[in-house]
């Protein structure tokens, strides 16, 4: 239970941090913010890596490897496409 309460504390505080950090986003950045934050939500990748690598049973390995594929698409694609978009904004913007 103690671990759970610690986790809950971190969860609630992180949500507040999120609301405080992201204020007044200019509309130009709505899409990049979404795709960039989406790439960060691909953090599940590390859970997927542990599942795929621990070889507990065949089933968990299959689930793990599928999760690694899904999460890597999310992470790699998300960061790259955000970078591509932001560079378009930069070309003439500054």
Partner 1 sequence: MSSYIINIAYLIASVLFILGLKGLAHPRTAVRGNLTGAVGMLIAVVVTLWHRQIISYELIIAGAVVGSLIGATLAIKIQMTAMPQLVALFNGFGGGASVLVAGAALVESSGMIAASMTQTTIATVASGIIGTVTFWGSLVAFGKLQDIMPSGAILIPGRHFLNALIGAVAIVLGVLIVMNPEATTMYWILVAVSSVLGVLLVIPIGGADMPVVIALLNSYSGLAAAATGFVLSNNVLIIAGSLVGASGLILTNIMCKAMNRSLTNVLFGVLGPSDEATTADEIYGGKVKSTSADEVAMLFDTAKRVTIVPGYGMAVSQAQHAVRDLTNLLESRGIEVDFAIHPVAGRMPGHMNVLLAEANIPYDKLKEMDEVNSTIEQSDVALVIGANDVVNPVARTDPKSPIAGMPIIDVDKARTVVVIKRSLSPGFAGIPNPLFAADNTLMFFADGKKAFIELVEAVKES
**Tokens 């690598």, residue located:** 53
The Cα–Cα gap between 18 and 15 comes to 5
Query: Minimum CB separation from partner 1 for residue 24, in Å?
Result: 7
Site for partner 1 in 70-89 (CB under 8 A): 70-89
Least gap, CB of 19 to partner 1 (angstroms): 5
What separation in angstroms does the CA of 10 have from each of 7, 37, 82, 83? 5, 19, 28, 29
Which 7-66 residues touch partner 1, going by CB under 8 A? 7, 10-11, 14-19, 21-57, 59-61, 63-66
């Amino acid at each position: 239970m103690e671990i759970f309460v610690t986790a809950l504390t971190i969860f609630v505080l992180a949500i507040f941090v999120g609301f405080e950090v992201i204020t007044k986003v200019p509309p130009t950045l709505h899409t990049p913010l979404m795709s960039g934050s989406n790439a960060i939500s691909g953090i599940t990748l590390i859970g997927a890596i542990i599942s795929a690598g621990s070889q507990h049973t065949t089933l968990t390995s299959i689930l793990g490897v599928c999760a690694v594929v899904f999460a890597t698409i999310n992470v790699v694609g998300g960061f790259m496409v955000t970078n591509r978009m932001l560079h378009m904004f930069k070309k003439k913007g500054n």
